[in-house]
Structure 1
Amino acid sequence: MAFVLFNLAAVAALVGIDQLIKLWAVQALQPVGAMPLIPHVVELRFVLNQGMAFSLLSGKQLFLIIATSAALLAVAYGLFFRSRGKRLQQAALVLVLGGGIGNLIDRVLNGEVVDYINLLFMRFAVFNFADICVCVGVALWVLVIFLDELHADDVAKEQ
């Protein structure tokens, strides 16, 4: 039970942080449009994104909601039923789930996602905290899979 409660609390914390930052962006950033964070490196720029990364599938809200919901259900299943005792995998899935839910809330309630981090030193999409959570979570998940494969190879060699 503690396992479930801890992971639920971690996901809720990430969703809460994401939603608070987005609320700030709507209230403080939207009126000014943009403000420097680190001059010539990163600015905070208010952008509403109707699609997913790089505005792909823009205007396909129903599809994005259904696809995201299905993916998040699979991630939640993995977190609560497949990752017990695997801390790195749990962290990866918590990040993906928290970030995914954060953006799904925007998409369901507003039909678009609030983005606000703009990298000035390279041409890249404007993104948000939830996007960072999802990307770091997926990268961590790939690392988990890679480490599991290495471990499986080591065990096979020992036999």
Structure 2
Amino acid sequence: MKNKTSQYTFFILVSSLAVWLDIFTKALASKYLMSGYVYKLIPNIIEFTYVKNRGASFGILQNQMIFFYVITAAVMGMISYTIYKLPSEQKYFPFYLCILFIFSGASGNLIDRVVNGYVVDFIYFKPINFPVFNMADIYITVSVFFLFILAVFIYKEDDMAFISSKKGSDANTKSASERIEPFYEPDRNKKSKK
């Protein structure tokens, strides 16, 4: 990203599109699958079936709505802060995309919880009897996986120093060794007084 304005604009546009796609696919699932109909996209592999999920991703923590609201608000707040602090350098673009899609997934499922009191899940991966999920779950799961890859194999510890830096988001962050002030050394060229 060239500057913070384009960074924010891209974030708003892409996350809005991703949330819209999540809501649209859930609306289709509600319209065509609520009756109990199962659409076999790839027989014995991927099926579309309607499920009301009152828990978190993949059905865990059922009926804990207040908990979900608090956690979602905290995650979205942390991501917003990180976007604000994120340098505009090209090397951070993969990290930027990951947190963008985590934000989108959290937003999509939050909208469902607020509007319906549950999340619509409809994608079923049959070979391993995987819990039914939705587009928002895909955004979050894939993004967290790639964030792990980035953290372990790509970014160094100093690359993430911008998050805790007190300076502005575009300020150049220095490594720990560069931030240490040199100790005072007396001028050895001067003669000592006797």
Query: Which TM-score applies when normalising by structure 1?
Result: 0.89
Higher alpha-carbon Rg: 2
Query: Aligned equivalents of 1:141 and 1:108: distance in 2?
Result: 28
Aligned twin of 2:59: 55
Query: Aligned equivalents of 1:69 and 1:150: distance in 2?
Result: 27
| Residue from 149, 155, 169 that aligns with 1:148 | 155
Aligned pair 1:109/2:128, yes or no?
A: no
- Displacement of 1:151: 8.7
| Residue from 13, 18, 33 that aligns with 1:14 | 18
Deviations 1:100-155, CA, capped at 9 Å, x for gaps: 10011101111110000001111211000100000111112112212113897xxx
Q: For the aligned residues, what is the CA RMSD?
A: 1.8
Percent identity, please. 27
Is the contact between residue 84 and residue 90 of structure 1 (CA under 8 Å) also seen in structure 2?
no
Query: Aligned equivalents of 2:145 and 2:17: distance in 1?
Result: 20
| Residue from 101, 106, 118 that aligns with 1:95 | 101
- Displacement of 1:76: 2.2
Is the contact between residue 83 and residue 90 of structure 1 (CA under 8 Å) also seen in structure 2?
no
Query: Aligned equivalents of 1:58 and 1:38: distance in 2?
Result: 29
Aligned twin of 2:76: 72
- Displacement of 1:33: 3.3
Deviations 1:57-104, CA, capped at 9 Å, x for gaps: 211111111111111211222123225321111110111011110011
Runs of 4+ off more than 6 Å: none
Aligned pair 1:40/2:44, yes or no?
A: yes
Query: Aligned equivalents of 2:104 and 2:15: distance in 1?
Result: 5
Name structure 2 gaps, 5 residues minimum. 160-174, 176-194
- The alignment partner of 1:47 has SS state of strand
Note closer, same or farther for the CA distance 1:72–1:151 as it changes in structure 2 (3 Å cut): closer
Query: Aligned equivalents of 2:108 and 2:86: distance in 1?
Result: 23
Query: Aligned equivalents of 2:135 and 2:36: distance in 1?
Result: 20
Name structure 1 gaps, 5 residues minimum. none
- The alignment partner of 1:5 has SS state of helix
Aligned twin of 1:120: 126
